[in-house]
Structure 1
């Protein structure tokens, strides 16, 4: 497996290690600021992944799907990171601390729209990174897989948009 593919796996593991460590420090040791700092390391992990991706491409590597996935990972991490941390926080409080965690009551349609808007943000961030890599390398043959990754992600975004907005157009019936 390539350097960038391993980097993505390592970054995903590190993301959750920092989140869990932050939660343990925050609630187990009552060190809220340190816990927050540990959880705030996720953007640093994204920067490390970006540097590794650029380094690999600058060595003359032909861009692969792994390079495209690195851009997608960064976009998703930045767009959904806060939401994933809040989810992990709620799960920790609920299952480890046995607290009653109130859940925000929002309609399915609103939840789906919000998820789609985050997906659009992830696409804009990741797409900008993919576009920058394509322009930086400047070789259509070397960056062909990056362009295909962007096109496939665009198709996934359109499908997600149709499904997400269908809940607004055709709301679920009340029970």
Structure 2
């Protein structure tokens, strides 16, 4: 049931994102889009409550509980950046916004990679905290090993992201000869409360 709920939450995330952006750019209702997009964290709350009830009812901690904790952690940490990513592309395609761009070379790319690593690290730490709460909640020796294994996996994930960011810091990718990276143009679209609230 929990795995099914995770799939439902993931589908619902993208549906809410599509509806929110449609309200913003096609229906011209920015406040309604903010309300829809702010409903997305409720999916994580629902999943957390269901996982806690499952454990409370005596279920043995298993991979499904680990997946739930990881999903919640990364949804909270990466969800806002995914919304901004999609918003920038929809604004460019349908509302005359500037083309989205990601730094490709030098120090700007290193900064970008550190920001990505920070998001993944925050997601991993949230997941680890939720897993630790589940371990304390269950409190049965040996029954929580699978949750501890998930915590170790999160440490590996943090390490991988730090290595990637460090590689771009100490070995920056250089722009081809005669080519300089230009900063993205200033936005030409007023997104109103959409940007301020998210």
Scaled by the length of structure 2, what TM-score is found?
Answer: 0.82
What's the counterpart of residue 20 of structure 1? Answer: 18
- Report whether the alignment pairs 1:51 with 2:39: no
**Partner Cα separation in structure 1 for residue 32 and residue 72 of structure 2:** 24
- Report whether the alignment pairs 1:65 with 2:66: no
**Partner Cα separation in structure 1 for residue 121 and residue 61 of structure 2:** 24
Helix, strand or coil for the counterpart of 2:128?
Answer: helix
Higher helix share: 1
Helix, strand or coil for the counterpart of 2:58?
Answer: coil
Count of paired positions: 172
What's the Cα RMSD here?
Answer: 1.5
Q: Which runs of 5+ in 2 are unaligned?
A: 177-198
What's the counterpart of residue 32 of structure 1? Answer: 30
Residue 100 of structure 1, CA deviation: 4.2
Residue 78 of structure 1, CA deviation: 1.0
Q: Residue 101 of structure 1 is aligned with which of 77, 86, 98?
A: 98
Q: Which runs of 5+ in 1 are unaligned?
A: none
**What CA deviation, in whole Å up to 9, does each residue of 1:24-75 have, x standing for no partner?**
1111111111101101111111100100111111111111112111111111
**Partner Cα separation in structure 1 for residue 7 and residue 143 of structure 2:** 23
**Partner Cα separation in structure 2 for residue 27 and residue 85 of structure 1:** 14
Hey, which bits of structure 1, 4+ residues long, moved more than 4 A?
none
**Partner Cα separation in structure 1 for residue 141 and residue 101 of structure 2:** 47
**Partner Cα separation in structure 2 for residue 85 and residue 56 of structure 1:** 30
Greater shift in the superposed pair: 42-51 or 63-72? 63-72
Which has the higher Rg, Structure 1 or Structure 2? 2
- Report whether the alignment pairs 1:121 with 2:122: yes
